[in-house]
Amino acid sequence: MKILAKAPFGLLIVFLLLHPFAGKAQNMPLANAFSHNDYQHKLPLFDAIDNGYTYIEADVYVHKNRLVVTHVLPLIHHHRTLEGLYLQPLAEYISANNGQIYPGYNHPVTLMIDIKSDPAKTYALLRPLLEKYRSMLNGPVRVVLSGNKPYGLVKADTAKLVTLDADLRKINRNAPGDSTFLAMASCKYSKLLKWKGTGALSMRDKQRLTAYVDQAHLYGAKVRLWHSPDSPVVWNQLLQCGVDLINTDKLSRLRNFLEQKAPVTEHSKSVISPVSQ
């Protein structure tokens, strides 16, 4: 792969030693696949791409004036920066693959940045960093901010480099006035459903979930429930209720489920999605 010639030496060595798909055809992109806490995988970003994921999440924390990828205070992984782990590799990968992440896939791959530190301080560091990679944004890559979201700063920023993830349960209240700012609507699974996949999902729960999903779709937002059970039974029910994105840490397991279940969408023959858009 051409990207290896440009990759930092450390990343190159790790890629060659651990990457099981090097030199093989990529998996088909999956419109419903969301790589939760992607940075915890053996090869952040690349494992997700090789499994066809079109949504990838990185938690970000400000540490010593840098954006470090971590879920909690970065005492151990302070060297893993957002740029080094995601933005630079994405730019190099896209450059080496004719301006795309997946050949023939004409939709952006979403990088969700889940802000764990102060939103204003984080955005102050993030804004110039994204400007550096502007050429790939709003094209092959889209950035969505979640967690501690800097609503006011994003709305006031004329650069339009990011979109936002709303709270699904409060979407009528916290959705920005301009719908172009809103890309997703998320909620913790247990806040809406207690069902673990045993027995049938009650009609009441189905109707409640579907109502939230329909409301989010009115704003053009893709719906995700995080910390949902990693169960094909649950995944199937979520898709039937209109949930757009299946949140998982089990990359290959969800890929296999979607590939076996899903028809090819009419939007792109290279995209697998069991959810009608």
Write down how long the chain is.
277
Residue 60's domain comprises 3-261
Hey, what are 200's tokens? 């049938």
* Collapsed DSSP state (helix, strand, coil) of residue 101: coil
Can you give the pTM of this predicted structure? Answer: 0.85
Would 270 be classed as within a structural domain?
A: no
Would 266 be classed as within a structural domain?
A: no
Would 195 be classed as within a structural domain?
A: yes
Tell me the C-alpha distance between 95 and 128, whole Å. 21
Would 28 be classed as within a structural domain?
A: yes
Would 231 be classed as within a structural domain?
A: yes
CB 164 within 8 A of CB 203: no
> In CATH, what number is assigned to the domain containing residue 152?
3.20.20.190
pLDDT tens readout for residues 93-130: 999 999 999 999 999 999 999 999 999 999 999 999 99
Q: How far is CA 2 from CA 87, 89, 256, in A?
A: 17, 12, 28
From first to last of its 277 residues, the chain has per-residue pLDDT tens of 434 434 444 454 444 444 444 434 456 999 999 999 999 999 999 999 999 999 999 999 999 999 999 877 666 656 899 999 999 999 999 999 999 999 999 999 999 999 999 999 999 999 999 999 999 998 999 999 999 999 999 989 999 999 999 999 998 876 655 667 889 999 999 999 999 999 999 999 999 999 999 999 999 999 999 999 999 999 999 999 999 999 999 999 999 999 997 543 333 333 333 333 3
Would 271 be classed as within a structural domain?
A: no
Place of tokens 């999605």: 273
Domain count within the chain? 1
Hey, what are 69's tokens? 């990828």
Would 80 be classed as within a structural domain?
A: yes
Tell me the C-alpha distance between 23 and 44, whole Å. 18
Would 165 be classed as within a structural domain?
A: yes
Tell me the C-alpha distance between 78 and 63, whole Å. 7
CB 149 within 8 A of CB 175: no
pLDDT tens readout for residues 196-210: 999 999 999 999 999
